[in-house]
Amino acid sequence: MVGEQDNESLVVYDYEPEQNELLELLLPRNITTQIFSALLESSAAELAARMTAMDNATRNAGDMIDSLTLVYNRRVRQILQKN
């Protein structure tokens, strides 16, 4: 029938080393891995922020160069028209 569990299908696992020993071995490794993963994500976020900041600085410098070029050209034109 549907919903009944067949007792023969239940599998019992035998752990070597014992479950407690296995947990003592794997838990510190898991914690270390999670901490390392967090450090990597933090480093990646910092590098992404730096890259974005440098991209913005480059764009702003280009805008400033364009603006100063216009000011310079206007000034040169004014000087040439006076002469």
Radius of gyration of the chain (CA): 34
Supply the DSSP string of 31-79, one letter for each residue. HHHHHHHHHHHHHHHHHHHHHHHHHHHHHHHHHHHHHHHHHHHHHHHHH
Q: Quick: pLDDT tens for 63-78.
A: 999 999 999 999 999 9
Q: Quick: pLDDT tens for 24-50.
A: 999 999 999 999 999 999 999 999 999
pTM reported for the whole predicted model: 0.60
